Amino acid sequence: MSVMEDRLSPNQDDFYNALIAAHEGLGEADSHALNARLILLMANRIGDLGVLQDIITTARSYSDA
Rounded to 10 deg, the angle between the 49-64 and 28-46 helix axes is 140
What tens digit of pLDDT does each residue of 28-44 get?
Answer: 999 999 999 999 999 99
What tens digit of pLDDT does each residue of 43-59 get?
Answer: 999 999 999 999 999 88
pTM over 0.75: yes
Helices (H), 1-65: 12-23, 28-46, 49-64
Q: Are 55 and 45 in contact (CB under 8 A)?
A: no
Question: Residue 7 contacts by C-beta under 8 Å, 6 or more apart in sequence?
Answer: none
Q: Are 22 and 34 in contact (CB under 8 A)?
A: yes
